[in-house]
Chain A
């Protein structure tokens, strides 16, 4: 799973969001490292919807503009859960190696 997909899934895990809110949430989650371009966002959303990990929610008109909301499906929650478990295992393994070298990491402090 790419970092973009992971962050979009994470953003949608909290609540259903419209496109612009997803862009903002991803920027916030990545602490400003990642700004999703619109073309990239829709590539990720298309893939998530086709894979059944996300689906369309409601539509609203805000200041004369269409806003379409997307929400996570149960499969999406499970996919995110599995990815979190995978990444956590990697972080634990890397932290253990670094601890062995006497380097303190964020994970070992937590």
Chain B
């Protein structure tokens, strides 16, 4: 039995509102319940109705926007909530840069292989590997929906290739960065989130593409460079006290580590560069983050 005097419908709405953060509910729950139940005084309705799908969807959307809040948009947001939102958005951007690296490497490897004797024709779906390039450009231009759809392209590619030999575990391990990037973009870049700073990110995008060119000729060297740059920027973030970038890079290091460790374990031996990089990435993942105290 529930609380006396409280209808089933009210109880259901209150359960739905639990998806919102506690700090938000403390301020708004009573007000919101009042709107949900305004002019609903039919006993049958109050006993047997449930929150509608549309209302549920809108509350879920609000939940994402408040859990991953953008600092300037909400007032009274606890600092850690703003950091959480910014870390998710930064991780999404880092994932896109990694995608940019892979896309450029794919283009270069196709171009390098073009015209070689006995070269099998490329399957049509490889064009989807360019998804991160489109997603990156779209996000910098404020076209969020297009960015999210384009970021799903690499996941789609891997689902097509899933029909080919290889276990689901292998697939999941190697698709982890694409999947996490897609989820981070969908959740982090909600309509209240700020547009990322285009000029600064273009430099980063250019750098990722340049590494991709290296990766197109020698995959291992390219991947090692990406890992090393992750570690270096992680150190810089620590020194500068950039908490958001530090946290995002820790998670990004984990994303790179998982497939790397899988390769090392599956390979049955530890290659010296791969093992060394794995060790550095572990340090980047677990190293403390520092917050610069503003005067």
Contacts and interface: CB of A to CB of B under 8 A. Distances in A.
Specify the main secondary structure of chain B where it touches its partner: helix
A23 interface: yes
B165 interface: no
Interface string A13-28: 0000001100100000
A50 B62 contact: no
Size class of the B contact interface (CB-based, 8 Å): 20 to 34
B73 A38 contact: no
Interface stretch (B53-61, B142-150, B195-203): B53-61
A39 B31 contact: no
B192 interface: yes
A34 B198 CA distance: 35
B28 A39 contact: no
Contacts of B60: 39
A37 B58 contact: yes
B34 A66 contact: yes
B164 interface: no
Contacts of B38: 20, 65
A104 interface: no
Size band of the A side of the interface? Answer: 10 to 19
Nearest to A46: B74
A65 B33 contact: yes
A40 interface: yes
A43 B61 contact: yes
A19 B31 contact: yes
Contact of B55 (A19, A38, A50): A38
Contacts of B67: none
B174 interface: no
A94 B177 CA distance: 48
Interface string B179-209: 0000000000001100000000000000000
A21 to B, nearest CB: 9
B30 interface: yes
Contacts of A41: 35
A38 B59 contact: yes
A39 B58 contact: yes
Interface in B25-40: 28, 30-38
Contacts of A42: 28, 32, 62
Given A39-B60, A42-B62, A50-B75, A19 B32 contact: yes
B266 interface: no
A60 B58 CA distance: 25
Given A38-B36, A43-B61, A66-B31, 20 more contacts: A19-B32, A37-B54, A37-B55, A37-B57, A37-B58, A38-B35, A38-B55, A38-B58, A39-B58, A40-B62, A41-B35, A42-B28, A42-B32, A43-B192, A46-B73, A46-B75, A50-B74, A66-B30, A66-B34, A67-B34
15 contacts: A37-B55, A37-B57, A38-B36, A38-B58, A39-B57, A39-B58, A39-B60, A40-B58, A40-B62, A43-B61, A47-B192, A49-B75, A65-B33, A65-B37, A68-B31
Interface of B: 28, 30-38, 54-55, 57-62, 65, 72-75, 191-192
